[in-house]
């Protein structure tokens, strides 16, 4: 198990990594000029989901906390933005508040789970149960008494007409489709780079140490509970960012944001992509979402069954996920070629 994770996450990334990030930024910049609106919409929602996947992948892969319920913060972020923006008539402040409010909830939930020293498996179960409780509660808010300010929660019908984000330095109009594309794509890049940088800081290195051996870190004098809580809150921040963007992208929020289907999808993205790298969950999201769209268009009725089968294959055959497995295969090929080269 010693080599399951990259052991050099603490080091500053190499030059090629920065090159790749710059290339991704350039590609992100020119895509809207070369594509139609429908592709921009498809890619934007992919970016939104990539953020959600990164939130879980970071927490599971680097802090060793398996949360089945990152959708708690995804849904809370979406609903918070909707309710605040529709009540306040502006969008900038609601955007910030909606990203931060779920983090406060994460602090409370995380405090009870982590300082209560429940076992890892219970933490997974509790997060899943909490997201399902949110789904149930939101579904049962269809009556006229469920109003926050001027906004009716509408139960399982969800809330339509979520205002688009207005960025004051761009103009008075809400972000265009290309604007949402830039925002969500840019945030995927920023969060990715940000998390990579955090892993080189003392905080990042300490949480990796806790993942490796919590008791040893405690015996060294670190309060593991505090660091785990911070990691949990950071992951919640990314998930709520994803939820807010989801609401802006679709101008709509609904209890489905919290449901089992959504929660399970996050797990599938991360497992398929691999949790031992930050980019794994991003790639996993891309592959799985492309696959389910494609399966839908070619008329395979049972998309869920096919996705379930893919998950099973990955869990049993490639437990480390797509990217680490590919990486190991390339490394093996490379060294085989090397040996052959030397043999001549």
Partner 1 sequence: MTGLAVMLQTTQLEKRFGGVRAVAGVDFTLREGELRCLIGPNGAGKSTFFRLLTGQMKPTAGALMICGQDVTRARANEIAALGVGIKNQIPDVMNGLSVSENLWLAASQRFRGAQARRAVEKVAERLFLTGILNRLVGELAHGQRQWVEIAMVIVGEPKIVLLDEPAAGMSDEETARTAELIREINKDTTIIVVEHDMPFIRQIAQTVTVFHQGRILLEGLFDAVVADPTVREVYLGRAGV
Residues that bind partner 1 in the complex, under the rule CB under 8 A: 1-5, 7-8, 10, 202, 205-206, 208-209, 212-213, 215-224
- Distance of closest approach, residue 222 Cβ to partner 1, in angstroms: 6
Cα 49 to Cα 282: distance, rounded to the nearest angstrom: 8
- Distance of closest approach, residue 193 Cβ to partner 1, in angstroms: 22
- Distance of closest approach, residue 312 Cβ to partner 1, in angstroms: 27
Burial pattern 212-245, b for ≥16 Cβ within 10 A else e, equals: eebeebeeeebebbebbbbbbbbbbbbbbbbbbb
The residues near 64 (Cβ < 8 Å, ≥ 6 apart) are 120, 210, 211, 214
The residues near 298 (Cβ < 8 Å, ≥ 6 apart) are none
Of 53 and 207, nearer to partner 1 (C-beta) is 207
- Distance of closest approach, residue 158 Cβ to partner 1, in angstroms: 43
State the DSSP H helix or E strand holding residue 252, giving kind and residue range, or none if neither. strand 252-253
Tokens standing for 311? 């998950």
Of 120 and 218, nearer to partner 1 (C-beta) is 218
159 bridge partner residues: 253
DSSP code string of 148-204: ETTEE--GGG-EE-PPPP--TTT-SSPP-HHHHHHHHHHHHHHHHHHHHHHTTSHHH
Of 38 and 117, nearer to partner 1 (C-beta) is 117
Of 140 and 213, nearer to partner 1 (C-beta) is 213
Cα 7 to Cα 164: distance, rounded to the nearest angstrom: 42
- Distance of closest approach, residue 224 Cβ to partner 1, in angstroms: 7
Tokens standing for 192? 């990715």
Of 202 and 342, nearer to partner 1 (C-beta) is 202
- Distance of closest approach, residue 60 Cβ to partner 1, in angstroms: 15
């Amino acid at each position: 198990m010693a080599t399951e994770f990259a052991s050099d996450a603490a080091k500053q990334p190499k030059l090629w990594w920065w090159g790749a990030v710059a290339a991704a930024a350039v590609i992100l910049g020119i895509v809207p000029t070369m594509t139609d609106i429908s592709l921009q919409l498809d890619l934007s929602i992919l970016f939104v989901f990539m953020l959600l996947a990164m939130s879980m992948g970071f927490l599971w892969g680097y802090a060793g906390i398996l949360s089945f319920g990152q959708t708690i913060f995804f849904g809370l972020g979406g609903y918070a933005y909707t309710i605040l923006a529709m009540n306040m008539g502006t969008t900038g402040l609601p955007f910030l508040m909606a990203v931060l409010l779920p983090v406060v909830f994460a602090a409370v939930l995380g405090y009870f789970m982590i300082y209560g020293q429940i076992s890892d498996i219970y933490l997974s179960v509790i997060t899943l149960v909490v997201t399902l409780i949110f789904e149930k509660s939101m579904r049962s808010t269809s009556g006229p008494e469920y109003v926050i300010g001027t906004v009716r929660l509408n139960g399982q019908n969800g809330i339509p007409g979520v205002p688009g984000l207005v960025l004051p330095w761009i103009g008075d109009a809400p972000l265009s489709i290309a604007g949402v594309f830039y925002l969500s794509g840019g945030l995927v890049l920023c969060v990715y780079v940000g998390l990579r940088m955090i892993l080189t800081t003392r905080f990042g290195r300490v949480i990796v140490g806790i993942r490796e051996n919590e008791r040893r870190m405690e015996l060294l004098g670190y309060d593991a509970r505090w660091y785990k809580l911070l990691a949990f809150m950071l992951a919640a921040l990314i998930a709520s960012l994803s939820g807010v963007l989801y609401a802006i992208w679709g101008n709509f929020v609904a209890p489905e944001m919290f449901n089992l289907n959504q929660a399970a999808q996050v797990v599938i993205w991360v497992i398929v992509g691999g949790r031992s790298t930050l980019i794994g969950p991003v790639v996993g999201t891309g592959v799985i979402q492309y696959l389910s769209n494609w399966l839908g268009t070619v008329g395979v009725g049972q998309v869920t069954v096919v996705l379930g089968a893919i998950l099973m294959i990955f869990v049993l055959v490639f437990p480390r996920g797509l990217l680490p497995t590919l990486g190991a295969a390339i490394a093996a090929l490379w060294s085989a070629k090397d040996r052959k080269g030397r043999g001549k």
